[in-house]
A and B are shown apart, each in its own frame.
Chain A
Amino acid sequence: MALSYTVESPSPGFNFENSTRNVVFEALLNEGKSKAPSPLKTGTTIAGVVCKDGVVLGADTRATSSEVVADKMCAKIHHIAPNIYCCGAGTAADTKQMTDLLASNLSIFTMNSGRNPRVVMAMQILQDMLFRYRGQIGANLILGGVDCTGNHLYTVGPYGDMDKVQYLAMGSGDLAAMGILEDGFKPSMELESAKKLVRDAIHSGIMSDLGSGNNIDICVITRQGVDYIRPYEESAYKDK
């Protein structure tokens, strides 16, 4: 490729090497009668809304390890580029690694090309990476940002499917949050209404889903810059 944005350039076409490797691993584990360690899941509610002036992303801050809350102030909104942030639901390690890899790739790209990355590019890199691993990477991502072409919100699933949306919620609390978003969303909302809508959506996820809880983080991305408010709202049940 003329402009390599990554340290390792994947060869063209599809590469299913990791599929066969995973099958071998699974077989080995079962033979040895041992169980693979269960991954830390973020049992989450994340949401994103496109508004008139930018994009608002929101997330709860609970990370669970089975029934125990492993992290009460987990950061689920990851920095990708100065104008692009990504919320991650699913396996905590997978979302962190994916977003870190993406952020590094994009900063190399920025240095090489002299241009700011576009949200669609970030989405395509993620889609590429996740498709290559055939769903073995448990990352459900909501990617949002503002670039020269406008305000964009994308979702990328663990199998590598993507959708361009105006509003979306993901994670175990997504059904509750989607209800709030479907009811309250209007195209071209004002920034303050969008922040309130996202906060309400996350709050509904926290109330209705056991895997989501604690505080609410909000990240507001506009042409002027980013306002990452952590926490936007503290839990009413915090120890005093």
Chain B
Amino acid sequence: MERHTTDSRVKGVSTGTTILAVKFRGGVLIGSDSRASIGGSYVASRVINKLIQVHDRIFCCIAGSLADAQAVTRAAKFQLSFHSVQMDSPPLVKAAASVLRELCYSNKEELQAGFITAGWDKKKGPQVYTVSLGGMLLSLPFTIGGSGSTYIYGYVDAKYKADMSREECLQFATNALALAMGRDNVSGGIIHLVVITEEGAEHIVIPGDKLPKFHDQ
């Protein structure tokens, strides 16, 4: 897993962020904070949604330059929609991750955006993929990304269990995001979570005052 230390060099609005995705029993959970900053000191938006739906059961979360990430996900959404019309079936999560990887790799000189793709498909069930800045694609049981992720590697490595239940997974993700938001100045705001299963996608929002507290007086 790579470290996102390039956020301070991002020109324009950066999502200097904390994002994660975790597989659990029967589904996948994808989550992020909600802060967009400019130059590391001005919060351009405190309620931005970094979880972008690229297909019915495939979401991706964005890190890095907001403009680049939005442009790439729009192109990916179009390509996936076209692909699913051609194939007459929903795209595989791997296909979505590949589309993002292709865009990131071919334009790596110009773009500064990283993604975590997660979703559910009929072939392999719940999956999590990460596409880094330069276009590396990895499939993992769980992954974290963004500038705030550096503060929670220890926490997620220690606390992750394979085959968690939905409630355990929600608690794990909420705690991880809250801890990262507590230490990283360019992550913050509210927590956005999306739970994707065979039934569909459910969007959960945890407002700032309902975040778990850790020794915060």
A159: interface (CB < 8 Å): yes
Q: In the bound complex, what is the Cα–Cα distance between A98 and B103 (angstroms)? A: 26
Contacting pair A157 B107 (CB below 8 A)? no
B110 near A162 (CB under 8 angstroms)? no
Within B22-58, the residues touching A (CB, 8 Å) are: 36, 44-45, 48
Per the bound structure, the CA–CA distance linking A157 and B68 in Å amounts to 12
- Report the bound CA distance from A162 to B49 in whole Å: 11
Dominant SS at the A interface?
A: loop
Q: How far is the CA of A134 from the CA of B13 in the complex (A)?
A: 13
In the complex, chain A residues whose CB is within 8 Å of the CB of B103: 14
* A-B contacts, 17 listed (Cβ < 8 Å): A13-B75, A14-B75, A19-B110, A124-B74, A131-B67, A131-B68, A131-B70, A134-B110, A135-B12, A135-B67, A157-B66, A157-B67, A158-B12, A159-B13, A159-B67, A161-B13, A163-B36
Contact A162 B70 (CB under 8 A): yes
- A161 x B107 contact (CB < 8 A): no
In the complex where A13-B75, A135-B11, A135-B12 touch, is A161 in contact with B66 (Cβ < 8 A)?
Answer: yes
Q: How many residues of A contact B (CB 8 A)?
A: 18
With A13-B75, A163-B36 known as contacts, the answer to whether A127 contacts B107 (CB < 8 A) is no
Contact A161 B110, CB 8 Å, known A13-B75, A135-B11, A135-B12: no
Cβ contact within 8 Å between A159 and B12: yes
Cβ-closest chain B residue relative to A16: B110
Q: Are A14 and B11 in contact (CB under 8 A)?
A: no
With an 8 Å Cβ cutoff, the count of chain B residues facing the other chain is 18
Chain A contacts for B11, CB-based, 8 A: 135, 159
4 A-B pairs with the lowest CB-CB distances in the bound complex, closest first: A159-B12, A159-B67, A161-B66, A161-B67
- The smallest beta-carbon distance between B81 and chain A, in angstroms, is 13
Q: Would you give the shortest CB distance from A143 to chain B, in whole angstroms? A: 15
Q: Which of A19, A131, A163, A165 has the most CB of B within 10 A?
A: A163
* Residues from chain B with Cβ under 8 Å of A88 in the complex: none
Instruction: Please report the C-alpha to C-alpha distance between residue A163 and residue B200 in the assembled complex, in whole angstroms.
Output: 26
A160 near B: Cβ within 8 Å? Answer: yes
Q: Closest approach, in angstroms, between the C-beta of A13 and any C-beta of chain B?
A: 7
Q: Does B65 contact A (CB under 8 A)?
A: yes
Among B12, B13, B107, point to the contact of A14 (Cβ < 8 A): B107
Give the residues from 117 to 165 in chain A that come closer than 8 angstroms, CB to CB, to chain B. 124, 127, 130-131, 134-135, 157-163, 165
